[in-house]
Amino acid sequence: MSPSTHLRRSLLYVPGDRMVMLVKAADRGADGLILNLEDAVAPASKELARQTVTRALQTLDFGPAEVIVRINPLDTADGYRDLLALIPAGPHVILLPKVGSAEAVRFAAWTIGRLEEIHGLPAGRIALMAMIESAAGVLAAAEIAACHPLVAALIFGANDLATELECAAYPAGRPLLHAASQLILAAAAAAAGVDAIDSPHMKLGDPEGLAASSRLARELGFDGKTAIHPEQIAAINAAFSPSAEQVAWARRVVELLHGDDATPLGAALLDGQLIEAPHLARARRVLAVGEKVGAYYI
């Protein structure tokens, strides 16, 4: 898990053409909200969705949630129209779909920078996330993650990738484990604060399957998971939040290796297990996430 400045356990997709859903989105308990202008919106409704999301950004209070807008691809007219309308409205993040190269991200960052300049907005206030949902995207994931300081996360698009590869995306993502791991490694190698976010569990009313896929994502090293329905958020948040036992372990590790002593220990035994610097780093990450989880609900 990377030490992001944002809590991104759960990111909820919200259709951009449904104001009633956008109004309710802040109360769903997700760490982030992906206001979706792309695949979930029919071609005939693109302009309606663009206007609806722009109005929502200008008028609604989304609380502590990170507000992310998934635009249409920038090689389409709709993608440009999305940015022209949205940048002045001030989303926290622009999510780029179907990213297959670092050049696409750098071009998006340049375009957003020029729009910020035109509108007299502070430079660099809007972050970028990249959807990795193709073979080209997976192979370029490391370069994409590191290509620009505004990149905040890579989001795994397992369903589109499975379609391209003609493989099964389920159960629990096993056929795509290699691709998922490539994305996780790319985010971790890029810089502090670049998160790796897993694909949604596409079957609703399946608590066992959702719990299993969320646990697998966390065990692989993902920082969070997207959701397609509010009923999925609690389980995802639980999977990506440290348990009371993990927090207690982390506190003991920090106290043992780096307590009040001015000279920290290099290694020690805890319950018969050797703990060293990597355990200390993990413990500090657990405590940092625990603090963010608590702060989110204050």
Tens of pLDDT, residues 156-186: 999 999 999 999 876 556 789 999 999 999 9
Q: Cα dihedral sign for 176, 182, 188, 194? A: negative
**Residues 15 and 48 reside in one and the same domain:** yes
Q: Which residues of 277-293 are buried (b: 16+ CB within 10 A; e: fewer)?
A: eebbebbeebbbbbebb
Q: Point out the domain boundary residue: 222, 239, 256.
A: 239
Domain coverage including residue 26: 10-239
pLDDT surpassing 60 at residue 1: no
Cβ atoms of 216 and 188 closer than 8 Å: no
> Domain check: are 159 and 291 in the same one?
no
User: What is the average pLDDT score of the chain?
Assistant: 90
Query: Is residue 4, in this structure, part of any structural domain at all?
Result: no
Q: What are phi and psi of 199, to 5 degrees?
A: -65, 160
Q: What pLDDT, in 10s, does the model give residues 253-272?
A: 888 887 655 567 778 877 77
- pLDDT of 261 reads 58
Same domain assignment for residues 125 and 29: yes
In the three-class reduction of DSSP (H, G, I as helix; E, B as strand; rest coil), residue 156 is classed as strand
| H or E element, residue 270 | strand 268-270
Residue 5: per-residue pLDDT:
64
User: Could you report the per-residue pLDDT of 217-238, keeping only the tens digit for each?
Assistant: 999 999 999 999 999 999 999 9
**How many separate domains does the chain show?**
2
Span 117-168, pLDDT tens digits? 999 999 999 999 999 999 999 999 999 999 999 999 999 999 999 999 999 8
pLDDT at 262: 55
Same domain assignment for residues 80 and 25: yes
